[in-house]
A and B are shown apart, each in its own frame.
Chain A
Amino acid sequence: MTPSPESGQRPYLPFGIPLTPANDNGRQWLPLGASKVSAGFPSPATDHIDQCLDLTGYLVLHPEATFFLRVKGNSMTGAGIHHGDLLIVDRSLEPASGRVVVAALNGELTVKRMQRSGNGITLKAENPAYPDVTVAADQDLQIWGVVAHVVHTP
């Protein structure tokens, strides 16, 4: 059973009980029943209750390959990534040109928009106050993972 990428949700057992991998750090929602039992009339909604919305299942499609990182700095504000935000990084995604990635550069993890070109890779900042970094093909750069989501508290 693997989560289906289309729906962004895990497979569910009957009664809305989600199937969660054993090592998932996310919370599991186990409804004790579709609804509380009312002593009088049964709720007319009982037959229509579908499932609980599980945010972890929505944000984390590949739990084994997904890591949370904390942002420090302001070079990516144009991409909606702010100081103090939480990055959800999915290492199973292919780092295609144009995606926002986490890269290991000079022994440090950094988040930038990646642009592939003939003579190497450019890590573009999304804030005019910060310079882009062009990395030559022979220079040591490792694409650590692809940013899947940003969790920002306004």
Chain B
Amino acid sequence: MSRVIALVDGNNFYVSCERVFKPALERRPVVVLSNNDGCVVSRSNEAKALGIRMGVPFFEVRPLVNSHGLVWLSSNYALYGDMSARMMTLLGEFAPRQEIYSIDECFLDFSGIPGSATARARDIRQRICQYLGITTCTGIGSTKTLAKLANHVAKTRNECKGVFDWAELPAAEQAALMDKLPVDKVWGVGRKFAAQLKRMDIHTVLDLRGTGVARIRKNFSVVMERTVAELNGESCLQLEDCMAAKAHIQATRSFGRPVTELGELREAVMSYVIRAAERLRRQPSLRTQVTVFIHTGKYRPGTPCHSPATLVPLAVPSDDTRRLGAAAVHGLEQIYRRGYRYKKAGVMLMGLQPVIAAQTGLFTADQPSRATRLMATMDAINKTYGMNTATFAGAGIEQPWRMQSTRRSPRYTTSWHELAIVAA
């Protein structure tokens, strides 16, 4: 029996969340910026119409604030996380199996559910819009790759009204549509592979679908081979019910101003390790390597550039913030050069190793090590009393290098002190 997979996502998710509690933002160009107000990460349709691209540094589009009434907001992850959790719970009621793929999208397995998949997707759209005020788009296909591509079609063609199912088109029309879609719209292809495919005279989705296995195998990895099979309706990717431990855990931030001193860089790197390590311990696994990098940025011609990175192996796999931090700071000291104006730093925890000994329980004989208990205690304190309540002095106290999120909206749904106001 052929599978029926749907990919549902929230349109312009962060902007949509903001608009729910501030209707005055409707019909205006709105962007939400990344952590620390660096880049554009979500755009209203009006902002897209102004030509603002995804991921563009905010300063490039800042003039539009005065010329076109562009509204910009810092990201409010407490709000987006809560709205996402609500949306995912509601979506989960529409299918027996769900894979939450990111904060605003999930796969649903409609296989074997009687009735029209398109009608089901319209119910989803109605339900999420009524309950949460967020508009969704749904793409439906017999594989995850086709569902993802269908979602792109649903989103870009007005006549679809937010829902598109490949099965509703006869084969000839499917091919005609795929011939109009550039190959970089395919999940996992991206710009780099698209350029390579172009050199092989593969331009459209239809071209890629019709490319022989041998030719793909010769030029690409097995991932691309699977992509081509999935485009042909042969399901290779399963729904993953729970997220597997991530191979890399990364924490990167731009600074609020250029940083030249090693001391400040040390604080920044340490604070990123704290964040990354906290996330690491939420998906229990250990790491064998820490990568640290610093960037001077490329936006000022004439200033000297220095963007080094280094990988520091750990003697013993660890999830201990202190060990990971020491490695990262050691790496930083190797790559730092005096006289450069650094704009950004980051750390990556790599070399995934499962935690071999299962977590010890309350009543088992062997107690967890002091380090494990210390980290668990810190995590528990920070979970209860808020981020960075218990932290490491190495991350600095005042953190003058940190960029401010100056325009975060209230945490409407997660803080009693920041509820939305309703006029009576």
Contacts and interface: CB of A to CB of B under 8 A. Distances in A.
Contacts of B86: 23, 63-65
A109 B23 contact: yes
Interface string A95-136: 000000010100111111000000000000000000000000
A68 B416 CA distance: 9
A99 to B, nearest CB: 15
B130 A91 contact: yes
B420 A70 contact: yes
A74 B90 CA distance: 35
Interface string B143-177: 00000000000000000000000000000000000
Nearest to A81: B424
A71 interface: yes
B24 A68 contact: no
For A65, A72, A73, which residue has the most chain B Cβ atoms within 10 angstroms? A65
A110 B82 contact: no
Contact of B422 (A21, A65, A70, A74): A70
B424 A74 contact: yes
B interface residue count range (under 10 / 10 to 19 / 20 to 34 / 35 or more): 20 to 34
Given A22-B89, A64-B86, A111 B24 contact: no
B419 interface: yes
B413 A110 contact: no
Interface residues of A, number: 34
Contact of A64 (B21, B26, B131): B131
Interface in A1-56: 21-23, 25
Given A64-B86, A64-B89, A142-B23, A72 B422 contact: yes
A60 interface: no
Given A21-B89, A64-B131, A111 B423 contact: yes
B130 to A, nearest CB: 6
Given A23-B85, A81-B424, A104-B23, 8 more contacts: A21-B89, A23-B89, A70-B421, A73-B424, A75-B423, A91-B131, A107-B23, A109-B420
Interface of A: 21-23, 25, 62-65, 67-76, 81, 83, 86-87, 91-92, 102, 104, 107-112, 142, 144
Report the 5 A-B pairs with minimum CB-CB distance, sorted nearest first.
A107-B24, A23-B85, A73-B424, A104-B23, A65-B131
11 contacts: A23-B85, A25-B414, A76-B424, A91-B130, A91-B131, A92-B130, A107-B22, A107-B24, A109-B422, A111-B424, A144-B133
